[in-house]
Amino acid sequence: MTTCILLAGGNGTRTGIDCPKQFLEIQGKPIFSYGLETLEHVDEVDVIIIVVLETWEVYVRDWVEKLGLKKPRYIVRGGKSRQHSIYNGLIKAREFMADEDIVMVHDAARPLLNPDVVRRTIAMAHKKGSAIPVIKENDALYMSTDDHYVEKTLSKTGLYRGQTPVCIRFGVYYGLHVSAQDEDLTKATGSCTLLFQNNIKVAMVEGDVKTYKITTKKDVDMFNGYLNLIHENLHVYENHRVKERE
């Protein structure tokens, strides 16, 4: 069994909009729903647990019903930090998951989810115990301590940008959260932090540059533009098919 914990509990204030970014409606649907619809059609994913702010529970439930999604079976409340929210999802998952099953953690603010990346990451987690999709860093990297002037160039050798979904064997991940101190959960900066702290290796799989995290207004505009491009290509394709039939 594979269960996805979809993290939709953040405030998302950096976009400069009035609601959390994951609930911003783009072309008629909230951002969080795009990833949900992709996961709905990935056979390797069995159950989805959505972790959400209390004030948005009804909104999320209504959209799940409106879209006719079957895999999102549970909605749980978010915690005071990202890792606390993950833990809340894991507590619900403990009710029906076995230790050898795979749990996925995915950001609701990454709507352009690649099904093949999901499948590869799940398969790698089954093989190695844990896996994360990454993108090799190709751009030049610089360091600045004052955010105004470049001080030095950093080597990009061996550097990768992490993405989600992170996939981990459930028993190991749940156990790490049970034994962690509250401070450890509060300070964790990513889904794999507890694994790194306990010297657990995380295998890498090739990610997809389109699965970027929506953080700023510019990211929202990029997402909207990408959807427009898809719709335009579909329109061109349909017109071509009509001409062929004629």
pLDDT-above-90 percentage for the chain: 83
Residue 83 lies in a domain: yes
Q: Is residue 90 part of a domain?
A: yes
Q: Which domain holds residue 35?
A: 2-213
Band (245; pLDDT cuts 50, 70, 90): low
Q: Answer whether residue 232 is part of any domain.
A: no
For residue 64, give the nearest of 32, 27, 91 by alpha carbon: 32
Q: What is the pLDDT of residue 13?
A: 56
Residue 164, pLDDT > 70, answer: yes
CATH number at residue 35: 3.90.550.10
Torsion region of 4: left, alpha or beta (phi above 0 gives left; psi -120 to 50 gives alpha)? beta
Whether residue 178 has pLDDT greater than 70: yes
* 226 within a domain of the structure (yes/no): no
User: Which two structure tokens, joined as six digits, stand for 126?
Assistant: 């089954």
Contacts of 138-141 with CB under 8 Å at 24 or more apart are none
In a domain, 218, yes or no: no
Binned at pLDDT 50, 70 and 90, residue 64 comes out as very high
Number of domains the chain contains: 1
Whether residue 173 lies inside any domain: the answer is yes
Residue 244 domain flag = no
- Residue 15: band (very low, low, confident or very high) from pLDDT cuts 50, 70, 90: low
